Chain A
Amino acid sequence: METASNFLNIKDVSTAFKINGQFYDAISHIDLQVQHDEILAIVGESGCGKSTLATTIMGLHDPSETKISGEIDFEGTNLLQLDDADYNQFRGAKIGMIFQDPLSALNPLKRIEDQISEVMDYHTKLTKEEKHDRVLQLLDEVGIVNPKRTARQFPHELSGGMRQRVIIAIAIACKPDLIIADEPTTALDVTIQAQILDVLRAIQKENHAGIILITHDLGVVAETADRVAVMYAGQIVEQGTAEQIFNTPEHPYTRSLLRSMPQRDNENDDLYVIDGNVPSLQKMPSTGDRFAPRIPWVPAEAHEANPTMHEVAPGHEVRCTCYKHFKFPDEKGSVTA
C-alpha cells in the first residue's frame, strides 16, 4: 500500500497514557496511509482510540503524560520528531482539524470573520482586503447562505450546523493537505449532517486534500468514505475500500458492528448485541486477541495467539486468519463452545 501518493504514512505508532504513574497503550502499533483525494474513515465504538490517533497526528499530547513511539511521515517530515514551534507550522496550515463540538472550538467573544482571518495571519501574508475576500469566499464554500452577515456575527448567534460550517471554514482556510474530522456531525440533525458531509466531500475534491473522518456512525462511513479502517481496542482490525468493508466484511468485529445496526429487514427482530465492552486501558489484554472475549462461543483453541494483518484482496487487510471459519451462533455451521 505504499505508493507515491501516500502523503501521510503512519508507521507502527503507539500512544500510551500515564495512569497512576504507569503507562498504558491507548493505541498500539498503528500502520495507516492516507492519500491525496481520498476520505479515509476510522470507525469503532467509543473508547477504541480513534480520538487518540487524531490527537497523536496533531501533536496535541503533553509529553510528560504520554509516551508516543513510531513514525508519522507527513510529506517527508516525521511529525513525531518536531518540537512545538515546528509543529505549529503544520497545524492549521498543512493539517486542519474539525472537532465534534463546534462551540468549544470557537472563541465566544470574537466575530466569525476575525476567527477565520486569525489562522491566515499566522500562516499566510495576505493584505487586509485579500483576507476579507478570502473569508467571504470560504464561508460561501462551506455553504453559508449569507457570508457577509455571518462574517459579522458571534458564535452564539449561529445554529449548531452553521457553527460546524465555520469550523470547517477555519480548518480549510490555508488549504491544508490533510483534514482530520473527529465526529464532525455527531451532534447535528441528520439533515444538517448530510449537508456537512457534502461540504467535506466538495472540499476534498476541490483542494485534493486527504481527509481522515473519525466516526462511530456506520451510516456516515457508508455514505462518505473511500476507504475504511476499523479500530478495536487501540488496534486496526480491518481496512479496505468502503465496498470491501461493507460488502465483504471479514473480521468478527466489523461483522458484529454491521449486525447491530437497525436494518430495513429486521424491524421486528431483536438487534444483535456485541457481548461485553471495550476494555479500559488498564484491563487491555497483553497477549491474545483483544476481541476474543466478546465472541465467547468461539472456542479458545480457534483464536490466534497474536493475530497479525493479512491481505485478503488487493487493499483489503484483516487481522488474524480466523475470519475464515468465524460464524455467529445463529449462522449455519457455527462452532459453539
Chain B
Amino acid sequence: MSLVEIKDLKVHYPIRTGFWNRITDSVRAVDGITFNIEAGETYGLVGESGSGKSTTGKSVVGLEKVTSGSILYKGVDITKKANRTKLDYNQDVQMIFQDSLSSLNPRKRIEDIIAEPLRNFEHLSKDEEKLRVLQLLDIVGLDADALYKYPHQFSGGQRQRIGVARAVATNPKLIIADEPVSALDLSVQAQVLNFMKKIQREFGISYLFISHDLGVVRHMCNNIAIMNRGRLVEIGTRDDIYNNPLHIYTKRLLAAIPETNVNQRMAHRASRLAVEKIYQEQQSKYYDENGEAFPLVQVSPTHSVALPETIAKQLASQEGEVQA
C-alpha cells in the first residue's frame, strides 16, 4: 500500500451566470487523475499554469471540496472530513506555498507563527515549546533572534525557510510543496531545496512537489506526473520522463527548458522548434476528438502515457530502439 493513493480524482468548479445565479457550466480544474505517492519519496507534479496542479495539492491537504474520486491516506479516504479528524490528518499533512509572505500572518512574530501548528496538536509547556521552535529554526538555518521578528523583516528566501520550519513543526509524514522556490533567486532556491532534502533524509517525509520548473523537478523528484488541462498525460520515473518522454506535451515542456550549455543552443533551439511544430500539427494524434487527453496506458512497469494503446506501444518501442 502506498502512503497516498489518488484515484480518479475530479474537482470541478461551478460557473454561475444570469440573474438566478444558476450553474451553467463548470471548470474541470482536475478531471480524473490517478497516482500514488510512496513513503519517503518526492513525487513531482508538473504542468503549465492553469493545468490544475494547485487544485490537486489543495485537495490532498483537504482544503478543496472534491467532486468525485478518492484520496486514500494509509488506506483511508480522507476526502471525508470525519476520516481526516480520526486520522489526525491535519497534523500528518502540511503545505508550503509559493508566496510565503501572503501565507504568513504579518502581525504575528515568527515564534508564534511556527508554534501555531504545535499549539493545535501538541500540549507543550512554554519552555518546551520555545525549545522546539528554536530547534526548528536551527533546522532551516535561522538564528534565535528571528523569534521576535515579523515576516516582513525577512528576505524572500528566509520567509520560505520559515514556511518550511512551520510545515515540519508537527513532524508531518507528507508535505505538499506548491511551487516552493519559484519566486526565489538561484542561490536561495538552492538553500531551500537543500533544506527540504535534508529534513526528508532525517525525518522520512514524503513530498508532493508541485512545480513548472523541470530543472528543479529533475533535481528533486523520483517519480513525476505531467499534468495538462486537468488530466495526466504521462507518469514515470525521473529517467522515464527525462530520457524517454512519449507524450508531445511532455516533450514540449522539456524542450522549453533553456539550454545552459551555450555551445548547444542553436541545436537545442532547432529541436525545440521541431517539437513545437509537431505539437501544433498533430493535435489529433495526441488528443481525442474533444481535444482532451486520452486515458493513461502502461508502456512499462513504471511508465504510462495518455495515448491510444497501439500508438503508445509503438512510440515506446521506437524510443527503446533509439536508446539501445
Contacts and interface: CB of A to CB of B under 8 A. Distances in A.
B256 A193 contact: yes
A163 to B, nearest CB: 13
Contacts of A193: 256, 258
B185 A243 contact: no
B186 A216 contact: yes
Interface in B184-205: 185-191, 193-194, 197-198
Given A45-B185, A223-B269, A246 B190 contact: no
Interface residues of A, number: 37
Contact of B214 (A190, A192, A274): A190
A261 B256 contact: no
A237 to B, nearest CB: 15
Q: How large is the interface on B (under 10, 10 to 19, 20 to 34, 35 or more residues)?
A: 35 or more
A103 interface: no
A266 B219 contact: yes
Contacts of B238: 267
Interface in B154-208: 155-156, 185-191, 193-194, 197-198
A191 B48 CA distance: 8
B229 interface: no
A interface majority secondary structure = helix
Contact of B263 (A160, A191, A243, A266): A243
Contacts of A272: 187, 190
B187 A273 contact: yes
B259 A222 contact: yes
Given A46-B185, A189-B212, A273 B252 contact: no
B218 A267 contact: yes
A273 B191 contact: yes
B187 to A, nearest CB: 4
B215 interface: yes
A247 interface: yes
Contacts of B191: 273
A194 interface: yes
Instruction: Identify the 9 closest CB pairs spanning chains A and B, nearest first.
Output: A219-B258, A271-B190, A262-B219, A274-B187, A223-B258, A190-B256, A260-B190, A194-B256, A191-B256
Given A194-B258, A198-B269, 19 more contacts: A45-B185, A46-B156, A189-B48, A190-B214, A190-B258, A193-B258, A194-B255, A219-B257, A223-B258, A243-B263, A246-B260, A262-B190, A262-B193, A262-B216, A262-B218, A262-B219, A270-B197, A271-B194, A277-B155
